[in-house]
Chains A and B, each alone.
Chain A
Amino acid sequence: MKIVKKNDVIIIIVTIVTAVLGFLMYNLVNSKNTDTKVAVIYYRNDEIKRINLNEGKEYEFSIDGHENVVFKVYEDGAISFIESDCPDKVCINSGKLSMTGQSAACLPNMLFLKIVDEAEQNSDNHDIIV
C-alpha cells in the first residue's frame, strides 16, 4: 500500500482550493461591508447608547435623562453635538465626527461620544485622533 494515494492528493487539492475560495469570498464580503462605523455615547464611565452611522438618514436625537444635549446624525454617516446647555460649548465646537478614532466630550454634562469600527480592527484605522 502506497502511503499517499492519487485520491489523497485530489482530496488535499480540493480542500485547499475550497479553503482559498472560501477565504477570498469572506474577504470580498467583508471588504464590501466597510460601513461598519458606529457612534458610541458614554455617560461618566459607562456606555449608554450605540448608533449605527450607515443608515443614510438625517435626524436629531437626545438620550433619556440627558435631554439637555442634542445630537445630530447626518446622511453621510457623520455625527455631532448640536445643542447643549453647557457653558463652554466645547462639545459643539468639536464639529462633525465621522472617522474611526475621533471623539468629542461634553465634560459639564459628563457625556462622551466616539466613533468605532465594529468590524475586526483594521490596522490602517486610527486608534485615536487628537
Chain B
Amino acid sequence: MGNLPLALFRGDNIKRVIAILLVTVFFLTSCDNNESEYKRYDAQFLEVFDTASTIIGYTKTKEEFEKISQTVYDELKTYHQLFDIYNDYDGINNLKTINDNAGKSPVKVDKKIIEMLKFATELTEKTNGEFNVAFGSVLQIWHQYREHGTDFPEDAKLPNKQELEEANLHTDISKIIIDEENSTVFLQDSLMSLDVGGIAKGYAVEKTAQLLEKEGTESILLNIGGNVRAIGNRANDNTPWRIGLDNPLDKTQIIKTLSISNTSMVTSGDYQRYYTVDGKNYHHIIDKDTLFPSEYYRAVTLVYRDSGMADGLTTYLYNIPFEQGKAFVENLEGAEALWIFDDGSIEYTEGMKKIIIDS
C-alpha cells in the first residue's frame, strides 16, 4: 500500500489509470447531461398594444428562440393594428375604420376582425350581457377625461353622469352587423363605437400562442402587458413557470406566487391605469351599471386555458360582487380565480390552492 502512488504511474498502469479515471468521470458527469440541452433566453418589445411585452423561453439554440420571438412580434403587431381604435394604418381597415363608418356603411375587414368579434359576442352571452365590446361610447368619455387629467393634473375632472348616461344609450351589441360572407362589419347606430380593450390583447396572445404550439414550440412564457400565457414548462428542469403577483397595496412586495404551465393568467387591477381627481384615483375598468370605475376589488386574477376568454372574463369578474363571481368561476371548467380586496385581504377558489406556491 505504501508504494501505491508510484505504482500507479508505472508502465501500463498509466493507461489503466487513465481509462478508469475517464470511465469514472463519465459516469459522474452523465447524470448532469440533460440539464444543459436547453438554454434560457428572453426578449422585450414596447411597440405593440401600448404596453410592455416580455418573452421568456427555453430553446436549444439562440436562433430557435429568435425565430419564436420574431413570430410573436409579427403576430401581435398584426392584431394590434387590426384592433386599434385610435390610429389609422396605410392600407388596413381596422376597428377605427368601422367606428368611423358607424351609421354610414359596412366596412370590409380582415377575417381576423370578424372572428374576434364573434368570439366577443360569445363572451357577451356567457356573461349575461355584462361584457360588451359595444361599450365604446362610454369608455371613450372616460378615456378623454383620463388623458386630460393625466396631462394636466391640476385640471383633472370627472365626466358628469348625464353625459355618460346619454352615451350609454348607444351600446346595443345587437346593432353590430357582421356579414361573414362578404367579410364586413357595420355599426347600425351612428353614435355607437367598438372598444375591445377588455379582450383584444388576450385574444391576440391566445392566437399567437396557438400558432407557436402548432409550430412545435415547447417552452415559452409570454407576458403581454399582464396577459400571461404559458406554453409547456420550463424545459431545463421541467418545472412550471413561476409568476409573482404584485401586492396592490405595496407594489414592492409579492402577495402570492402562482405556478402555471400550458395555461393563461390575467389580472385586472385598479393600480395599472388610472388618473387622480381631488386626491382620489379613478381607474379604467368601468362598471356598466354605475358607469363609473368599479370598486369591488383592488385586483382579480384568473387562471384559465384560453387567454382571450381569460382577458374578457377577468374584466367581467372585476365588475361583479364576490359571491356572484365565485359562483361563476366555480361553474366554469378549468377556471380558478383570486380576489384581492381593499384592505389587502384575499379570497380564492378551492383549485387555486394547488396553483399557489407557499413560500
Q: List A residues at the B interface (Cβ < 8 Å).
A: 5, 7-8, 10-12, 15-16, 19, 42, 44-45, 78, 87-88, 90, 94-99, 101-103, 105, 107, 110-112, 114, 116, 121, 123-130
Contacts of A124 in B (CB 8 A): 242, 359
Cβ contact within 8 Å between A11 and B24: yes
B211 in the interface, Cβ–Cβ < 8 Å?
A: no
Assess A128 versus B44: contact at CB under 8 Å? Given A19-B28, A96-B252: no
Contacts of A116 in B (CB 8 A): 42
Residues of A within 8 A of B243 (CB): 126-130
25 A-B residue pairs with CB within 8 Å: A16-B24, A42-B44, A44-B45, A44-B46, A45-B44, A45-B45, A45-B73, A78-B252, A95-B252, A97-B252, A99-B244, A99-B254, A103-B52, A107-B50, A121-B40, A123-B239, A126-B254, A127-B56, A127-B234, A128-B56, A128-B241, A128-B244, A129-B244, A129-B254, A130-B267
By beta carbon, the residue of chain B nearest A96 is B252
Q: Say yes or no: A129-B44 contact (C-beta < 8 A), given A7-B8, A87-B150, A123-B234.
A: no
Q: Within 8 Å CB of A15, what residues of B? A: 20-21, 24-25, 28
What are the interface flags for B233-268 relative to A under an 8 Å C-beta threshold, 1 for contact and 0 otherwise? 010110101111110000110100100000001010
Cβ-closest chain A residue relative to B273: A90
- Nearest B residue to A110 via CB reads B46
Q: Which of B135-143, B186-194, B220-228, B303-311 contacts A (4 or more CB under 8 A)?
A: B220-228
Q: Are A127 and B221 in contact (CB under 8 A)?
A: yes
**A3 → B minimal CB distance (Å):** 11
Q: Is the CB of B254 within 8 A of A103?
A: no
B133 to chain A, nearest CB (A): 24
Chain B residues whose C-beta falls within 8 Å of the C-beta of A11 in the assembled complex = 8, 17, 20-21, 24
Partner of B241, one of A78, A96, A98, A127: A127
- Inter-chain contact A45/B43, CB cutoff 8 Å: yes
Chain B residues bordering chain A, tally (CB within 8 A): 48
Q: Write out the residue numbers on chain B whose beta carbons fall within 8 Å of the beta carbon of A114.
A: 44, 54
Q: Which residue of B lies closest to A86 (CB)?
A: B150
CB-CB nearest 5 A-B residue pairs: A129-B244, A105-B52, A126-B244, A15-B24, A45-B45
Shortest CB–CB separation between residue A24 and chain B, in angstroms? 13
In the bound complex, residues from chain A placing their C-beta under 8 Å from that of B13 are 7
Are A112 and B44 in contact (CB-based, < 8 A)? yes
B46 near A45: Cβ-Cβ < 8 Å: yes
Closest residue of chain A to B7 (Cβ to Cβ) is A7
What B residues does A95 contact at CB under 8 A? 251-252
Residues of chain B contacted by A125 (CB below 8 angstroms): 242
B122 on the interface (CB 8 Å rule)?
no
Residues of chain B at the chain A interface (Cβ within 8 Å): 4, 7-8, 13, 16-17, 20-21, 24-25, 28, 40, 42-47, 50-52, 54, 56, 73, 150-151, 221, 223, 226, 228, 234, 236-237, 239, 241-246, 251-252, 254, 257, 265, 267, 273, 359
Determine which residue in B54, B239, B254 has the highest number of CB atoms from chain A within 10 A of its CB, and name it: B54
Report A-chain residues with C-beta under 8 Å of the C-beta of B8: 7, 11
A17–B234 Cα distance when bound, in Å, is 32
A113 to B106, CA, bound (A): 43
B150 close to A8 (CB less than 8 A): no
- What CA separation (Å) do A10 and B246 show in the bound complex? 55
B150 touches A103 (CB 8 A): no
Q: Which residues of the other chain, A, contact B228 by a CB distance below 8 angstroms?
A: 128, 130
A18 to B50, CA, bound (A): 55
Q: Across the interface, which residues of B come within 8 angstroms of A8, CB to CB?
A: 16, 20
Tell me the bound Cα distance from A6 to B135 in angstroms.
Answer: 84
Given contacts A126-B257, A128-B56, contact A16 B16 (CB under 8 A): no
Measured between alpha carbons, how far is A123 from B257 in the docked complex, in Å? Answer: 13
CB distance from B83 to the nearest CB of A (A): 17
Give Cα A16–Cα B54 distance, bound, in whole angstroms: 43
